[in-house]
Amino acid sequence: MLRFLARRLLASVPVLALVSLLSFGVIWLVPGDPAAAFLDASATPAQLARIRHQLGLDQPFYLQMVSWYERILHGDLGQSILLNRGVAQALWERLPVTLSLAGLALVFAVLLGTTAGLLAAMRHGSWADQSITVLALLGLSVPDFWLGLVLIFAFAVGLGWFPAGGYVPMGQSFWGWWHSIALPAFALAVVQVGFIARMTRSAMLEVLHQDFIRTADAKGLPWSVVVARHGLPNALVPILTVTGIIAGGLLGGAVVIEQVFSLPGIGRLIIDAILSRDFPVIQGGLLFVAVVYLAVNLVVDVLYAVVDPRVRL
Amino acid sequence: MAKWTRRGLLRTGSGLAALGVAPALAQTETPRRGGDVIVAIAQAPPSIDAHLTSASAARDITLHLYETLYARDENGAPVPDLAQGVKVSGDGLSYAFALRSGVKFHNGKTMGPQDVVASIERYRKVGASANLLDAVDTVQATGDSEVTIKLNKVQSTFIDNLSSPRAPIAIYPAEEAAKPVKDFSFIGTGPFKFVEYAPDSHVKLARFADYVPNPNYSKRDGFAGRKEVFVDSATFRFMPEAGARLAALRTGETHIVETVDGPSAKQLQSEAAYKVFKVLPFYLQVAKFNHAQAPCGDVNFRRAVAAALNMEETMAIAFPDIYELNGGWVFGNSPYYTKAGLELYNLADPAKAKALLQKSSYKGETLTFIVDNTREDMDTATDIKEQLGQIGIKIDVKVSDWPTVSKIGFTPNGWHFWTHGFGIEPYEGPATVMSVWVNGISMLKDDPEIDRMFADYTGEMDQGKRREIFARFQTHMYENAVAMQLGNYGLFQVTTAKLKNFVPYRIPRLWGVWLES
Amino acid sequence: MRNRSFAVGAGLVCFVAVVACLAGLLAPFDPMRSNFRLRLAPPSAAHWFGTDHFGRDLFSRVLYGGRVSLEIGFFVVVVTGVAGTLIGALAGYFRALDNPLMRLMDALMAFPAILLAIVVSAVLGASVVNVVLALAVATTPHTARIVRGSVLVVREMEYVEAARALGAGDLRLLFGHVLVNALAPLIVRLSYVFAIAILAEAVLSYIGVGPPPPTPTFGNIIAGGRDFMNTAPWVMIFPGLAIVVSVLGLNLLGDGLRDVLDPRGVRT
């Protein structure tokens, strides 16, 4: 087991190196710089040049790269140009928001998705199965930000049940937190619900047609026990596989949902940084997101190896 | 310049009392103290150190925290704020500012001349608009409460510059001014003090208990005047989504929305729970030509474009219900407003345009219109493209985000047209408007006549003569179609009806207002 | 179920494609023609989907927008198909190239696809071509991995060894025998890529780095109307529904293709 872990970690190193290079290199490719965000519309080139110099943006590129790598290897992600604080601090402050959003969305997606998938598999061929399949597909076909807008329009502006934006930390008020995160998490979850429902359904269908299920059934066990004790655990393996992919999907979807619902999360941090050219935040943010994604996949791989020994070859 | 001598001060200050102007509040109701007033603004500020940035989002906040020697009144004219008044030497090169006494900083220190000197020197080093102080030679404390600034040349606009709210020359404690920029604590003399700053979420300010409103004024007056705070605290929430701002208003999570679109404002107007303010004029929408790129260097081409456009259509689409057709290069309420040259505004004459186009060097090539990705500017560009298409000018609209556009727009390559709003320039006055066209900065080719007029203006101490110079400038802008002023537009500000005594201005002002329960 | 999926999917996609191609004939108005006295009009007999804030007929814009969005989707599929196949084939077949190419793909896949697309779009600037490139960069790594997977499986198979023994050169083997096998999962993947491209283009437009106006796409019609969401929701609702219909069709098509071509295949 340990050797497997070590091997996987070792394989991640070149990927991490490339990821860091890509994260840093982006600023070299993107036109414009953060000086413009400090000034209003009629800023003259002289004023812009001045700010650029103050921000240290006119240093030669390789020097900037060297000092960036030096800092990274000491765990220092640098200082944001436009946010008045360290990049690491900015990420840390926003982590709870994105975690709440993605976490709650994952919970919604898994609960709704597996339930729907199970139901569809167990009533295979019935109209319930068909409608669930269609609904799942519909969920996959909806643009998440558009759904968010529609939900805001219907439930926030129209019915007034939820706020139209903004985040209330859980520490401040649990119900406030729930109110501010429920709608966006749902919008984010819808796509994944479809995905999980389909996966669960097909995994369960495969398992349910296997011999050992028929044996258990022939033994006289109630169907629900058969499903629960024999069917479900086997279906968990493909669901686990899918979790890694879902993590990527949730992170990506969170980026846009945060924009629509004005949630100060990591996705929005990075997008705003890209649009205003806050270089240190772009670099640090991209690196952070990639590392998290790689870590999640590593964990999933390990869990997978734990569950299915055949993988550990 | 007679206005800003001690005589002038007596006129503005005590004159108000002599006129029997009623005290600020006895209008209708007594103010209720307390509460946290919340403002939803569209963008987060890049910094709340007033010197460092001229972004308008920063001003919303910094002009509550800090004050300047002189500030602009309700009509945009400079009046004393932290200064008591000024004595200008006969040759116009020496300004002796008498400072108000008993002004406290948020950290308890009393403001003195050393703080003023240190703040102005800091601004010269790191200020976003440091060029405002280009004519300054020396700044010195010349008494217990006096600071003298010596200029190296006569500048009729010096007090204008000193009072510019764009990147305000805020007065900081000398110790803070001496610190490295990143260690600066947000300490000023303003009616609010800094509490917390969560970037990408909000800034919170609290009422400064030891603030003494300027005794020379009895009413709110622009950025100066009497700044009395009735609320306990103020929160500025950054909400880039227009829909989210509106929704927050409806759920009571914000009391003021800085800008609301036309159709929503119309809807809110019919609801008793809200007050809708039409703040007009607030900006000019300008379409610039790149004179360094053919055919825009050809005056006939530019005149053809200017003659073709139906500006009402463009303004109505880009700024529904919140525009005014006015071709002046300053706003109508400015003492410098003139109609000179305006007979060439909004001609909407395609026949004349086609005739001029024939005479020009335009040969049917496709021209590039760069624009940022805000809806209003994109819509302006799109409509102009369509209109010019009708007279045979082919245009390709290239949308980029602001950092990219503002980079391209100041280089001589890659664009023919560029449009965006000018807000602070017409508000500040003719000098600021003209300065944008000096040295060919905005049109990428020198116009010696404009350079000459600007030099004349800043050297001319007589206001009447300055008015004439500006009228000549505006005529020149129109006759040569240097750039096009498409019209004035503004914004809709909406507040809850529970907010009392709110009067919109360049920023939502949170002094003088109060919240009903 | 499987045949139905394919049939319905293919049917929807064909419907959308035909409507988009015939936009010129079907659209009652010029999608670029503004009518500033009729701005933000609700749906009516004259304007089935209402008008936007330029006074342009929304139904016509959605039709033309469909054409552009589908074009974008199509070209993304082409670019991803070519690039993904090339990279995946080279990586799968030539062991020396496998590691470097796949590490690069892994690195790209470590970023959420939409974030990658936004970054590339910001770098290149907003235009239809650049959006295609940005989306292709985001979807190619996964495609390459799928192709590589198929190539790996087939490379070791006996008939390939036999062919090699008979003297067939590497490249001929690659293109003649091995890739043919990868075709099935590739086609399935590409139909999903089409769907992803349409959804992603909408997101890019919403963020502000998508194809610029006045050219309509599903995404930028929604983006242009978002300021008016509270008073004129139709500007946002109809293009969104159009996206749902198009993507649903493509997803069904993908499912159907998978059931037909690659039921046991590389499934992710």
Domain regions of chain C by residue span: 4-21+50-262
pLDDT in tens, B357-377: 999 999 999 999 999 888 889
**What average pLDDT does this structure show over B225-247?**
88
Is B142 buried (19+), middle (13-18) or exposed (0-12) by CB count in 10 A?
middle
Decide: B417 and B308 in contact? Cβ < 8 Å. no
Q: How far is B342 from chain A (nearest CA, A)?
A: 24
Please state which of the ranges A114-128, A223-237, B391-405 shows the lowest mean pLDDT: A223-237
Nearest to A186 by CA among A114, A115, A112: A112
pLDDT in tens, B412-457: 999 999 999 999 999 999 999 999 999 999 999 999 999 999 999 9
Residue A114 has pLDDT above 50, yes or no: yes
Q: Say how many CB pairs under 8 Å bridge A and C.
A: 122
- Centre a 10 Å sphere on the Cβ of residue C183 and count the other Cβ atoms it contains: 14
Decide: A191 and A144 in contact? Cβ < 8 Å. yes
- Residue ranges of alpha helices (H) inside B74-231 are 113-126, 158-162, 174-178
Nearest to B394 by CA among B319, B303, B295, B489: B295
Closest-approach residue (CA) in chain B for A259: B241
Would the CB atoms of C229 and A153 count as touching at under 8 Å? Answer: yes
Nearest to B400 by CA among B384, B432, B377: B377
Give chain B's mean pLDDT. 90
Would the CB atoms of A166 and B250 count as touching at under 8 Å? Answer: no
The vertex-A69 CA angle with A68 and A72, nearest 5°, equals: 90
Would the CB atoms of C118 and A18 count as touching at under 8 Å? Answer: no
Partner-chain residue, chosen from C125, C208, C232, that has the shortest CB–CB distance to B263: C232
| Whether C232 contacts chain B with CB within 8 A | yes
Most distant CA pair in chain B, distance: 70
Would the CB atoms of B407 and A36 count as touching at under 8 Å? Answer: yes
| Spatial distance between the Cα atoms of B197 and B456, rounded to a whole number of angstroms | 44
How far does CA A133 lie from the centroid of its chain? Answer: 24
| Whether C227 contacts chain B with CB within 8 A | yes
Would the CB atoms of B403 and A32 count as touching at under 8 Å? Answer: yes
| Whether A49 contacts chain B with CB within 8 A | no
Per the document, the length of chain A is 313
Q: How far is A141 from chain C (nearest CA, A)?
A: 5
**pLDDT grade for B179, boundaries at 50, 70 and 90:** very high
Residues 149-208 of A with CB under 8 A from B: 149, 152-153, 156-157, 160, 163-167
Q: How far is B207 from chain C (nearest CA, A)?
A: 34
Six-digit token string for B364: 């049917």
Tell me the β-bridge partners of B192.
Answer: B207
Closest-approach residue (CA) in chain C for A256: C203
| Spatial distance between the Cα atoms of A201 and A199, rounded to a whole number of angstroms | 5
| Spatial distance between the Cα atoms of A25 and A16, rounded to a whole number of angstroms | 14
| Whether A50 contacts chain B with CB within 8 A | yes
Q: At B294, is the secondary structure helix, strand, or coil? A: coil
**What average pLDDT does this structure show over A286-302?**
84
Residues of chain A contacting residue C226, judged by C-beta atoms under 8 Å apart:
149
**B213: preceding bond cis by omega (within 30 degrees):** no
pTM value is 0.80
Residues of chain A contacting residue B131, judged by C-beta atoms under 8 Å apart:
44, 46-47
pLDDT in tens, A90-109: 899 889 899 889 989 988 98
Would the CB atoms of B317 and C231 count as touching at under 8 Å? Answer: no
Strand B36-41 relative to strand B70-72: parallel, antiparallel, unpaired? unpaired
**B281: preceding bond cis by omega (within 30 degrees):** yes
How far does CA A278 lie from the centroid of its chain? Answer: 22
pLDDT in tens, B315-324: 988 988 899 9
Residue B13 has pLDDT above 50, yes or no: no
Residues 49-78 of B with CB under 8 A from A: 52-56
Greater confidence (A26 vs B16) lies with A26
CATH architecture, domain defined by C4-21+50-262: Orthogonal Bundle (1.10)
* Contact residues of C toward A, CB < 8 A: 1, 99, 103-104, 106-115, 118-119, 122-123, 125, 195, 199, 202-203, 206-208, 222, 226, 229-230, 233, 236-237, 240, 243-244, 247-248, 251-252, 255, 268
Strand B136-141 relative to strand B202-207: parallel, antiparallel, unpaired? unpaired
| Spatial distance between the Cα atoms of B165 and B72, rounded to a whole number of angstroms | 8
**What average pLDDT does this structure show over A241-265?**
81
Is A45 buried (19+), middle (13-18) or exposed (0-12) by CB count in 10 A?
middle
Q: How far is C36 from chain B (nearest CA, A)?
A: 6
Q: Say how many CB pairs under 8 Å bridge A and B.
A: 143
Would the CB atoms of A252 and C255 count as touching at under 8 Å? Answer: no
Would the CB atoms of B264 and C230 count as touching at under 8 Å? Answer: yes
| Spatial distance between the Cα atoms of B291 and B294, rounded to a whole number of angstroms | 7
State percent of chain A over pLDDT 90.
6
Partner-chain residue, chosen from A85, A157, A259, that has the shortest CB–CB distance to B199: A85
Residue B16 has pLDDT above 80, yes or no: no
Q: How far is B211 from chain C (nearest CA, A)?
A: 40
How far does CA B272 lie from the centroid of its chain? Answer: 31
Please state which of the ranges A131-140, B308-317, B353-362, C151-160 shows the lowest mean pLDDT: C151-160
| Spatial distance between the Cα atoms of B437 and B446, rounded to a whole number of angstroms | 8
Would the CB atoms of B128 and A83 count as touching at under 8 Å? Answer: no
Most distant CA pair in chain C, distance: 77
Nearest to B62 by CA among B188, B151, B222, B202: B188
Partner-chain residue, chosen from A32, A38, A45, that has the shortest CB–CB distance to B404: A32
Phi, psi of A274 (to 5 degrees): -65, -45
Among A26, A38, A39, A42, the residue to mutate for chain B (most B Cβ within 10 A): A42
Partner-chain residue, chosen from C39, C122, C126, that has the shortest CB–CB distance to B320: C39
Would the CB atoms of A22 and C233 count as touching at under 8 Å? Answer: no
Residue whose pair of structure tokens reads 């994105």 in the numeric block: A98
Residues of chain A contacting residue C248, judged by C-beta atoms under 8 Å apart:
137-138, 141
**Interface pTM, i.e. ipTM:** 0.84
Partner-chain residue, chosen from C54, C125, C127, that has the shortest CB–CB distance to B317: C54
pLDDT in tens, A211-240: 666 776 777 777 777 666 766 676 676 677
Residue A274 has pLDDT above 60, yes or no: yes
Partner-chain residue, chosen from B241, B317, B375, that has the shortest CB–CB distance to C34: B317
| Whether B181 contacts chain A with CB within 8 A | yes
Predicted confidence pLDDT, tens digits, chain C (268 residues): 456 777 787 888 888 888 888 887 888 888 887 777 788 888 888 888 888 888 889 999 999 998 899 999 999 999 999 999 999 888 887 888 888 898 899 889 888 888 889 888 888 887 889 999 999 999 999 999 888 888 887 777 756 666 666 666 666 666 666 677 778 888 888 988 999 999 999 999 888 888 887 889 998 899 888 777 777 889 999 999 999 999 988 888 888 887 777 665 544 3
Residue B5 has pLDDT above 60, yes or no: no
Q: How far is B449 from chain A (nearest CA, A)?
A: 20
| Spatial distance between the Cα atoms of B406 and B390, rounded to a whole number of angstroms | 29
| Spatial distance between the Cα atoms of C105 and B291, rounded to a whole number of angstroms | 47
Would the CB atoms of C54 and B379 count as touching at under 8 Å? Answer: yes
What does the pLDDT read at residue C161?
67
How far does CA C160 lie from the centroid of its chain? Answer: 33
Residues of chain C contacting residue A270, judged by C-beta atoms under 8 Å apart:
115
| Spatial distance between the Cα atoms of C23 and C18, rounded to a whole number of angstroms | 8
**pLDDT grade for B150, boundaries at 50, 70 and 90:** very high
Tell me the β-bridge partners of B149.
Answer: B95, B139
Q: Which chains touch C (3 or more CB pairs under 8 A)?
A: A, B
Helix (H) or strand (E) holding C148: helix C128-155
Residues 6+ apart with CB under 8 A from B196: B203, B204
Q: Say how many CB pairs under 8 Å bridge B and C.
A: 70
Q: Which chains touch A (3 or more CB pairs under 8 A)?
A: B, C
How far does CA A65 lie from the centroid of its chain? Answer: 28
Please state which of the ranges A6-20, B74-88, C134-148 shows the lowest mean pLDDT: A6-20
| Whether B267 contacts chain C with CB within 8 A | yes
Partner-chain residue, chosen from C39, C208, C231, that has the shortest CB–CB distance to B264: C231
